[in-house]
A and B are shown apart, each in its own frame.
Chain A
Amino acid sequence: MNDDVVLELRDVKVHFSTDEGTVKAVDGVSFSMTRGKTMGLVGESGCGKSVTSQAILRLVPANGKISGAILLNRDGQEPVDIGALDNHSQDIRDIRGKDISMIFQEPMTSFSPLYTMGNQLMETILLHQTPDKSAARTQAVEMLRKVGIADPARRIDEYPHEFSGGMRQRVMIAMALSCSPEILIADEPTTALDVTIQAQVLELMQELQKDFGMSILFITHDLGVVAEMCDEVCVMYLGKIVEKAPVEEIFHNPRHPYTQGLLESIPKIGHKTEGDLKSIEGVVPVPINLKPGCGFCDRCEHKIEGLCDTYNVPTAEVAPGHWARCFLYPEVVEAHNKAVGGEE
């Protein structure tokens, strides 16, 4: 495994068995994260971006089954396959919060209202770093100072309800970074915040990334935030990555019709246009008992009859570092022919 790669997902699937059938929330996702860089995971609600991040920490609900390899590459150690670990094993517990930590979307509900902020912050430190309570407290106060909480020595003893939304999100970041993780998973960290507060939190995350050198997996549906924060982007649709490319490429040379549609459907600030926004017709299908074929083909204007609606689309490199899952590109058709030829 390349040393620069901290985390690699290979054909990861998360399937939920329900009464109506199997929900393929994540259906064959592969990507790798580079040390110190930010990977963006974008898509609309229900595309599987949050479940992907939960799978990395094995936090999916009990009826979900994870398959595929999730390789964590820690400094100077053998890579660990998180996909093969048990949900309750000591190994995964050692990884959670120490090597990989997570920031959640809802700063209101992700803290326990019954414990002080300090208590919740120190829990991670006590678990992974030091059994000494006063040392943990000192470290927690220091972390709070780093994320810009004024008067941290006093505020550490306050309860979550005494903090505003933006401040809670700062504490959550402090908690996630308290053990200097290799990877930070940020699941819609600024969605619940106002724009001026969002700007503060994004700024803070960029500064901390410079200081701590962690890789960030940034999950969001806001393309503006992606353009601002990420180095590389994966666009997800119906549990699959439909396009993966460096951030410049995604915004200036999008290949997949879904990515193109998404970019055209957002109004751009400072560029008021008369007339209609281009929208993607139809809605995201329910991921139960899906037919083979491209999940997007019913909404796509470039649909090729007999191809897009019959065969599962493979992914191929359409330009250096730019992967797409769409039959419009000869590289993809070639990969498809190879796969079909191999079966016969």
Chain B
Amino acid sequence: MNETLLDVRNLSKYFPIRGGFWDSVTNYVKAVDDVSFYVRRGETLGLVGESGCGKTTLGRCLVRGIDPTGGEAWFYPDGSEGIDIAALSNKDLKPLRRDIQMIFQDPYSSLDPRMTVFDIIAEPLKVNTIAERQEIEERVKYLASVVGLNVSHLRRYPHAFSGGQRQRIGIARALATNPKLVVADESVSALDVSVQAQVLNLLKRLQKEFQLTYIFVAHDLSVVEHISDRIAVMYVGQVVETATTENLFKSPQHPYTEALISAVPKPDPRDRMKRIVLEGEVPSPASPPSGCYFHPRCRYAKERCTVEKPAYREVAPEHFATCHFAEELNLKA
């Protein structure tokens, strides 16, 4: 059986900027710009980056909530034959929808306030004609108990639940169709730490129970480190580094990753060390800098970085980075 579940090749999503008298397209926001990576069956790939780096857009392209501009995303649901998600028409996509599901960030706005929890979890079952009446009831009750919801509360509306419980409802809904790939977009960032830990533990348990593969989109590096097997770091629409979690934190190969890890405040007052403070701000993906997108903020930038765009290449086994000098820098986390 094929080990790879999803193989993304040169995927792009450009949003047009319109302006002028005729409302013509003047420029593009390159939200996702020539991104390649793969996800293995049963693993969790963490997708980190700062706001505006395109991680959410990338996640949405993969569930085809939006249509990518170019590139391919090969999905291998049964191991043998691949399907290019990026090229499918909406009609052909429908049978695939049940295999790829999404858990959203905001547990307050991603649930319809006029539907009961039962109806919310049952909806994907009905839409995909997975279960008949009697079965639906059983299946919804089963899903609710799996994610730790009280089955007797299923007739209530979302407003009666706390943030953590609502997130559990969203998870139950995503699991209803027995998906193979789940894209979790900032699924715990809106929660308090004690509840966040509960939901993270739940996601890990469900992964084992249902053989799920996660793409875990988040900005919180410590959470991503905890849950991911491998991590992809994004900056201005591009993946700048991909590696196993251990390697990424032990020997980052891209200066941005190094700075990002260093910037996270450590919960230990004895650890108050000198942070790497990046100058300036993230450039706009509508007008990125020349050469390497990171060079204006990079401590190690050289002449070559300002003119030549670095390629995304394998700098060590299983370790990919977009930096001209990855091998020479010897970065530390």
Residues of chain A at the chain B interface (Cβ within 8 Å): 44-45, 164, 166-167, 194-200, 202-203, 221-228, 247-248, 251-252, 261-263, 265-270, 272-273, 276-281, 283-284
A269 CB contacts on chain B under 8 angstroms = 221-222, 225, 249, 261, 264, 266
Closest Cβ of chain B to A286, distance in Å, is 10
Residues of chain B at the chain A interface (Cβ within 8 Å): 50-51, 162, 164-165, 192-198, 200-201, 204, 219, 221-223, 225-226, 245-246, 249, 259-272, 275-278, 281-282, 333
Is A200 a contact of B249 with CB atoms below 8 Å? no
Contact of A227 among B192, B225, B269 (CB under 8 A): B269
Is A278 a contact of B197 with CB atoms below 8 Å? yes
> DSSP majority for the B interface?
helix
B281 CB contacts on chain A under 8 angstroms = 164, 166-167, 197
Known A221-B193, A226-B267; 11 more pairs at CB < 8 Å: A195-B263, A199-B277, A227-B271, A248-B269, A251-B270, A263-B267, A268-B222, A269-B221, A269-B264, A279-B195, A280-B194
Is B226 a contact of A277 with CB atoms below 8 Å? yes
- Enumerate the 3 nearest inter-chain pairs by beta-carbon distance, A residue then B residue, closest first: A224-B265, A267-B226, A279-B197
10 contacts between A and B (CB under 8 A): A194-B50, A199-B277, A203-B277, A222-B265, A224-B266, A248-B269, A265-B196, A270-B249, A279-B198, A280-B198
Q: Complex Cα distance A197/B259, Å? A: 11
Q: Complex Cα distance A262/B194, Å? A: 6
Closest Cβ of chain A to B140, distance in Å, is 23
B219 CB contacts on chain A under 8 angstroms = 194-195
Q: Complex Cα distance A306/B35, Å? A: 60
Chain A residue with Cβ nearest B266: A224
Q: Complex Cα distance A194/B133, Å? A: 47
Is A227 a contact of B266 with CB atoms below 8 Å? yes
A283 CB contacts on chain B under 8 angstroms = 162, 164-165, 195
Is B194 a contact of A272 with CB atoms below 8 Å? no
Is A200 a contact of B193 with CB atoms below 8 Å? no
Best-buried of A225, A267, A272, A281 by chain B (most CB within 10 Å): A267
B266 CB contacts on chain A under 8 angstroms = 224, 227-228, 268-270
Closest Cβ of chain B to A124, distance in Å, is 26
Closest Cβ of chain B to A152, distance in Å, is 16
B272 CB contacts on chain A under 8 angstroms = 227-228
Q: Complex Cα distance A9/B7, Å? A: 59
Is A272 a contact of B278 with CB atoms below 8 Å? no
Known: A44-B194, A195-B50, A248-B269. A272 touches B263 (CB 8 A): no
Is B245 a contact of A224 with CB atoms below 8 Å? no
B51 CB contacts on chain A under 8 angstroms = 194
Best-buried of A222, A227, A281 by chain B (most CB within 10 Å): A227
Closest Cβ of chain B to A161, distance in Å, is 15
Chain B residue with Cβ nearest A166: B281
Contact of A266 among B201, B246, B267, B277 (CB under 8 A): B267
Is A267 a contact of B223 with CB atoms below 8 Å? yes
Closest Cβ of chain B to A243, distance in Å, is 15
Chain A residue with Cβ nearest B205: A276
Is B270 a contact of A223 with CB atoms below 8 Å? no
Is B333 a contact of A223 with CB atoms below 8 Å? no
B265 CB contacts on chain A under 8 angstroms = 198-199, 202, 222, 224-225, 227-228
A166 CB contacts on chain B under 8 angstroms = 281
Is A280 a contact of B197 with CB atoms below 8 Å? yes
Is A276 a contact of B204 with CB atoms below 8 Å? yes
Q: Complex Cα distance A268/B197, Å? A: 12
B260 CB contacts on chain A under 8 angstroms = 195-196
Q: Complex Cα distance A270/B332, Å? A: 12
Best-buried of B200, B263, B276 by chain A (most CB within 10 Å): B263
Is A267 a contact of B269 with CB atoms below 8 Å? no
Q: Complex Cα distance A199/B282, Å? A: 14
Known: A196-B259, A263-B267, A267-B222. A272 touches B197 (CB 8 A): no
A45 CB contacts on chain B under 8 angstroms = 192
Q: Complex Cα distance A201/B198, Å? A: 31
Q: Complex Cα distance A26/B203, Å? A: 35
Closest Cβ of chain A to B81, distance in Å, is 34
Known: A267-B226, A269-B264, A277-B226. A195 touches B194 (CB 8 A): no
Q: Complex Cα distance A276/B277, Å? A: 32
Q: Complex Cα distance A270/B245, Å? A: 10
Q: Complex Cα distance A283/B162, Å? A: 8
